[in-house]
Amino acid sequence: MSGVVKSDIDQDKKIHLHELMPDHYPFYLDPMPNLYFTRDPAAVIGEGITINRMHEPARRRESIFMDYIVNHHPRFNKHEIPAYFKRDDLYSLEGGDELILSDEAVAIGVSARTSAQGIEKLAMELFARQKSIKKVVAVEIPKIRAFMHLDTVFTMIDHDKFTYHPAIEDRDGSMKIYILEQEENSDLLKITEKNSLKETLKEVLHLDELVLIPCGGGCPIASAREQWNDGSNTLAIAPGVVVTYDRNYVSNDILRQNGVEVIEILSSELSRGRGGPRCMSMPIIRENISQ
C-alpha cells in the first residue's frame, strides 16, 4: 500500500532494479494513497461481490487486495463467493457508483469512472447468477471531477429518504435514467428509459412517496460549496442515521430538519482526498431491515 522506497532495498538488489526507475525517482513500487477510499475497488451485492476494474491506471492495482482476500483468506475462500465482475474485465466499474436500493434493485452510476458497457455486463451477470436482484437502475451523471461517482451526488439514507445534488438534473428537473431487466425467457436485456429520479425510485422501491434532500438545501452557492466537500456523500449506518463531514453544516442542518440523525466527523484532512464518509467504507454483510 505504501509503496517500496529505494532506500528500503539492499544495495546488492538495487543493481538489478537500477534500470527500472530514473535516479531521481524515490520509489521502486508506487504507493496507493487512494486506497483509503475502500468503497471503489470492490462492492458486495447480495450474496456476491464485484472485484472492480478501476478506470484510472493510478488506482487499478487497488482491487488486487480484495481479489486476493476473497480467494485466499480463510474467512472467505471456503464460501465460494460469486464474483459478478472481475478486475481484469474489459470495461471499467467502480464501487462508488454501486448503490443497493433494496433486495431486488440496485442503482449504478453511468459516470466518468463507470462505463455503460460495464453496467450492462454486470446486469447480465446478476440476472444470470442470482435470483433476488430484478432491476438495475443506471443513472447517468455529469462526467466531471466534482461528480466523480453516483454516491458523490446521491445516497440512500432511509427507506424513503435520499440525499442528492440538484445539479445532476437538467433545468426542467429531468435526467437520463435506464431500468435494466432481463427479457422473459431470454438472455437479452430489456432497457426502459426514464427521466425522473424521484418517480423512478418510487417505482423500483414500490413507494407512494419519498423525500429527496438537496445538498446545501438547494441554495446555488451552498450546494456547490458543500458538494465539493462531499455534502451528498452520506454514510448510512442504520435507516435514518448517517455519518457526514462536520464542515457541511448547511446540508447537515437540512438532514436534521428531515428527521435524520447526523453524526459529524472531522474533515479538515479527510476531505482533501475528494471523497466522503461513504467513500471510506466497504460493507461486507448487511442485515435485512424491515420497513
Domain limits, the chain: 37-273
Residue 169 pLDDT grade (very low, low, confident, very high; cuts 50, 70, 90): confident
Which position has the higher pLDDT, 261 or 27? 261
> Is 137:154 a contact under the CB 8 Å cutoff?
no
Residue 287 confidence (pLDDT) above 70: yes
pTM, two decimal places: 0.88
Percent of residues, the chain, with pLDDT higher than 90: 58
C-alpha 152/C-alpha 169 separation (Å) is 14
Q: How far is CA 252 from each of CA 54, 144, 153, 231, 256, rounded to the nearest angstrom?
A: 31, 24, 15, 8, 6
> Is 132:103 a contact under the CB 8 Å cutoff?
yes
Q: How far is CA 190 from each of CA 123, 124, 142, 225, rounded to the nearest angstrom?
A: 11, 11, 24, 39
> Is 196:169 a contact under the CB 8 Å cutoff?
no
Residue 186 confidence (pLDDT) above 90: no
Q: What are the tens digits of pLDDT across the range 123-158?
A: 999 999 988 999 999 999 877 666 688 998 899 999
Residue 212 pLDDT grade (very low, low, confident, very high; cuts 50, 70, 90): very high
Q: What is the mean pLDDT of residues 91-115?
A: 94
Residue 211 confidence (pLDDT) above 80: yes
pLDDT of residue 181: 94
Residue 55 confidence (pLDDT) above 80: yes
User: Sign of torsion, CA 193 133 141 238?
Assistant: positive
> Is 147:165 a contact under the CB 8 Å cutoff?
yes
Residue 12 confidence (pLDDT) above 70: no
Q: What is the mean pLDDT of residues 42-71?
A: 93
CATH of domain 37-273: 3.75.10.10
Looking at every residue in the chain, the average pLDDT score rounds to: 88
pLDDT of residue 60: 93
Active site residues: 279
pLDDT of residue 14: 59
Q: What is the mean pLDDT of residues 78-93?
A: 93
